[in-house]
Amino acid sequence: MNVQGWTSLLLCLYMAAYKLKNYLRMHRRRSGLIQDEIAYLLGSRDGCRVSRYERLRRGPLLEIALAYEVIFNVPVSELFGGVFAEVEKRVIRRIGHLGRKLHLRMPTRLSQRKLESLAAALRASRERHD
Amino acid sequence: MTSRSRTNKRTLSICPISIGFGFVVLERSERLLDWGLISRRRPCVQYCLDRTERLLEQYQPQILVVQAPRSRTARCRAGTLARSIRGLAATHHVTYKALSYDHVRHRLRPLHVKSKYDIACVIASKFPELAPRLPGRRKPWQSEASAMSLFLALAFALASTGPSLTRILSTSDPA
């Protein structure tokens, strides 16, 4: 990936950083469900936990995040758009560092395969922002 | 790549009413993040400002839109609130915009809307999640439903964005 490609990808990731940490409240209100009803679907007793997730007081466990995906039929990466954007930014930077390290080593079939995997990850990230 | 449709610009729009204010939070002029009616039996400007500040901290919008008071010297609570919110926006480094109802109605003229109810109907068709809040058509002896402030707040938010307001509202697909 050339310098221009890197710059444009990092700019997209920066723009994505304007996203909210999560969009749970938006989807819940669109569905018309109240917090107690979402809590029941998640297996909780009352809506306090749901309120904490929506207000970002507490991050949900993986199972709860996946339950949200089932309830709203929206991928976890979109439900937690802001968090996903931050994680993506960090990982993309590390992909760049690792790619440069692999390039400096003696090329082998295994290192080629690793570079292809990293390039595929970069392409997928680019497509998400195109 | 840096076009407006790609940025997640958030707009908080507030429409003051006698018992509080209606608000909406819009992202990219197509995604309704949150909406509600903040009301209290005896609301005061400070209470409304506190709630507005809470919304600013929660959603961190880039733009804050308020219905402009009828005159610069309007002493009504809505006018005082609009002016106070301007100071709050400056404190939080948020772009402040004050729009009048006449401005919004003028921009919606191609859609042949004549009243607030017509504006609300157009908005409810575009944003179906607000449809349950649509009040009935007001009779001459009735006062305005407080829920109308939600639709007006959304109209102000859409009017403050770049794309044409009529283009946003005239597409048949809901947001």
The complex's ipTM? 0.79
Tell me the pLDDT tens digit for each residue of B7-49. Answer: 678 999 999 888 889 999 998 878 899 999 998 877 688 888 9
In this structure, the strands spanning B20-27 and B31-39 are antiparallel
pLDDT of residue B131: 92
- Please state, for a pLDDT cut of 90, what percent of chain B lies above it: 37
Which residues of chain B have a CB within 8 Å of the CB of A12? 1, 6
To the nearest whole Å, the CA of B76 is away from the closest chain A CA by 33
Q: How far is A82 from chain B (nearest CA, A)?
A: 10
For residue A8, what pLDDT is reported?
57
Do A12 and B6 count as a contact with CB atoms less than 8 A apart? yes
Give the per-residue pLDDT at B2: 32
Residues of chain B numbered 28-67 and touching chain A (CB < 8 Å): 31-35, 58-59, 62
pTM: 0.81
User: Cα separation of A12 and A6, whole Å?
Assistant: 10
Residue of B nearest to A24 (CA): B33
Cβ–Cβ below 8 Å for A16 and B8:
yes
Test A18 with B62 for CB contact under 8 angstroms. yes
pLDDT tens per residue, range B83-99: 888 888 999 999 999 88
pLDDT value at position B34? 94
Please check whether residue B83 is in contact with residue B71, taking contact to mean a CB–CB distance below 8 angstroms: no
CB proximity A44 to B under 8 Å: no
- CA-nearest residue of chain B to A26? B33
Residue B111 — very low, low, confident or very high, per pLDDT cuts 50/70/90? confident
SS3 B95: strand
Among B27, B85, B15, B78, which residue's Cα sits nearest to residue B56?
A: B85
Residue ranges of chain A whose pLDDT lies below 50: 3, 16
Which candidate from B1, B9, B34 shows the least CB-CB separation from A12?
A: B1
